[in-house]
Structure 1
């Protein structure tokens, strides 16, 4: 048992607590599983997906679960679930031409049982990423951060003194995306509740997202342009911005009437991209990019089979200049966002897969300050994962990953459900970004013709 004491500030509340962790262990499948090698798709194994993503779930006390340690319940359920989802218990290896495969050897996932002398209420009433002292809630086991020959999952379950708990997990993005993780965790949760009949059978079938034979690149892929950095991308800070119903309504009124039927995701993406581009201090003529994760499952014919849990999204890019974003109204950025989403078809996905085969491991997303990456997890349903203690108070990304921003569902101090967006920028740019947001939210709305006519008539 190891101890560590943490000091953090949650919701502007200073907080000190001690975490006691048991020695990390490997949880293997509860019964023998096939020893085989499974090939990943050409979408899965691209170089830009070779990183780990941290998630965190907060749960309240549930009186009916008194006397049960959540870590023990989840560990048992995890072992049972790995019988079906046994690739998660394997290790990534590199095959011919750098192709990644999963060696299904049953070694298991890393698991840590922990306790903390703090209550859920002490974390405040507005849980949003980034979470201070996350390293205490998910201990970085030395040697586990690699991509090859390392565990695909690291899990820590920390029981709180109020009876609630924190479930934290680090996922190797190569094995699945956010929706795939939700599917896996839903099965673990069903096992934990003793509802094995509610399982979602896993489907591997990664060949469905492979390139054609022979591979053919049929679309333009600016998301993989090699862009020269004009400013250093260092000394980064993270901060979350909450957008509730009032802010979303106000932003819609900044759009002309014909654009107001856009989705909340499209609206917030356009708004944040515009503010971010004006905040990073590039020259007016310099290009800025917006790379938006778009799930292609609904656009495939036929759709991917239910139970497929591999990466099933592409990152098409919109490109413009700082000047164009700054001098045009919000609708300009919105239309670029909508065009990018519309371009993401099955053909586009097959073209990306072909590009990976032809130029593959040398291609990366441009990791420069002028590129804005974002992914929407608000509809992933991670908060619905119920291990027997009810739905999560908060469930989603624990912090931004590099320059990738993620949208998650959260609540503010008033209890309103909205979207929390985690931004990662150099400190001076973050201050300017917050100022740009505030300035835009104070703009006068665009009047539609009907309300304008009514106002004129009432004045006569």
Structure 2
């Protein structure tokens, strides 16, 4: 008998400001300007939503949730002192002759980051983890909203924390506007928030330390200085046309350019499954890829990505001459010369592209060919390539729109990174049991990668049409490497 959809009950909502906003640094009172990397993602549906599921203590005390929520709010407020743009609001400047817009984040004129607490009635950890495919309705219960329709960008919280209580567990979800942060910056914030929470607990339980909750230092302060290509910034003027479908911007005649919800309702349905790859399996894939490619330069992640690209292409049953593309976002902080700090807060991502034919990819060349092509794409994306891409964008700005779907039906795009510290985040309940993310931009061939619960392992969330997913689950090469989550 099918289980009824979970019923979420919102118990409280509030806004969290950086701790002691009156004494914040002078930098926090200045506009936080958006770079070309940031502006690409100005769209309400580009909202990075991730979270962790924790088990409650075996015998939680009567005030367990109240105590947890108070600690989460205080540690969040302390974290926002360092990441104060997350408590701000997007602002725009309308320029005339010619008509254009400029965007920045106002860190002062804002109620703060949004904090939501709710209960998911009659739902247990087992109900969540036992599902082969976690349902859309379940996932939506864990996050504030899906940012799909009728959203004003200038009224949107740039950071929303959604704490959901289930019978025997707690899900801590975090949503962040993508134009403000990439995956590297998202997890940097999440890690610091966890670090402050744990230090707060240690300070409260110590009888010898003089450390107070307001003086907790952090191991990796974010670098908030903005980076712009030579000759540009801090405000970048952009043509008005691309913004007519972003939220509810009105033109000079008062016409509302909001979303057409039928575009979303008419989207094809997908299945999404998470597959687990152990440290030992990944080591074997790396050894095989390097052996077949007659090299030692191919990385573990490139080898795993090559396996996924090769197997998905095979089950799509493409003709041998048909082209297939694999896209992998690359952290460009280390690609620039001089490099940016890995603690640079904002977006610093480029897209590498590897292209071949289906016949070449799934033929006798094996894993080595696909992995070497991915390796070359990453290596060739150097300082010169990064700056060339940014210069071209500034000449003719183009804006990503998740409603457009994939670039083509034969692509594979592997987002995320196994390098992010996902399961190292703790909030007084031990190590998380599971990681979940919202699916507000589901597209065939889109894959989300993150570190697994066991050290060195990787989990891949794969999105495909149902028939293609069935075939992938039956693909011998893929399933010999993957275990099901």
TM-score, length-normalised on structure 1?
Answer: 0.77
Q: CA deviation at 1:186?
A: 2.7
Alpha-carbon distance between aligned partners in 1 of 2:29 and 2:173, rounded to the nearest angstrom: 28
Q: 1:307 to 1:251 in 2, by over 3 A?
A: closer
Alpha-carbon distance between aligned partners in 2 of 1:190 and 1:144, rounded to the nearest angstrom: 36
Specify the alignment match of 1:346 in structure 2.
Answer: 383
Q: CA deviation at 1:131?
A: 7.2
Alpha-carbon distance between aligned partners in 2 of 1:416 and 1:274, rounded to the nearest angstrom: 26
1:57-92 deviation line (CA, Å, top 9, x unaligned)? 112335798534223321222223223322111122
Alpha-carbon distance between aligned partners in 1 of 2:388 and 2:275, rounded to the nearest angstrom: 35
Specify the alignment match of 1:107 in structure 2.
Answer: 111
Alpha-carbon distance between aligned partners in 1 of 2:325 and 2:318, rounded to the nearest angstrom: 12
1:38 correspondence with 2:32: yes
Give the superposed CA RMSD: 3.5
1:407 correspondence with 2:407: no
Of the candidates 166, 182, 192, which is equivalent to residue 187 of structure 1?
Answer: 192
Alpha-carbon distance between aligned partners in 1 of 2:333 and 2:8, rounded to the nearest angstrom: 41
1:431 correspondence with 2:470: yes
Which runs of 5 or more residues in structure 1 are unaligned? Answer: 1-6, 9-13, 216-231, 444-460
Q: 1:380 to 1:439 in 2, by over 3 A?
A: closer
Specify the alignment match of 1:151 in structure 2.
Answer: 157
Alpha-carbon distance between aligned partners in 1 of 2:295 and 2:137, rounded to the nearest angstrom: 38
Matched residue SS, 1:190: helix
Matched residue SS, 2:339: coil
Number of equivalenced pairs = 409
TM-score, length-normalised on structure 2?
Answer: 0.73
Which runs of 5 or more residues in structure 2 are unaligned? Answer: 201-212, 234-265
Q: CA deviation at 1:383?
A: 1.6
1:7-65 deviation line (CA, Å, top 9, x unaligned)? 98xxxxx6975543224333233433544422111112114876112201112335798
Specify the alignment match of 2:349 in structure 1.
Answer: 313
Q: CA deviation at 1:266?
A: 0.7
Alpha-carbon distance between aligned partners in 2 of 1:352 and 1:440, rounded to the nearest angstrom: 34
Aligned runs of 1:106-255 on 2, under 5 Å? Answer: 106-116=110-120, 117-124=122-129, 133-140=138-145, 147-162=153-168, 164-193=169-198, 194=200, 196-198=216-218, 200-206=220-226, 208=227, 210-213=228-231, 234-245=268-279, 247-249=281-283, 251-252=285-286, 254-255=288-289
Matched residue SS, 2:191: helix
Alpha-carbon distance between aligned partners in 2 of 1:42 and 1:192, rounded to the nearest angstrom: 33
Q: CA deviation at 1:133?
A: 0.5
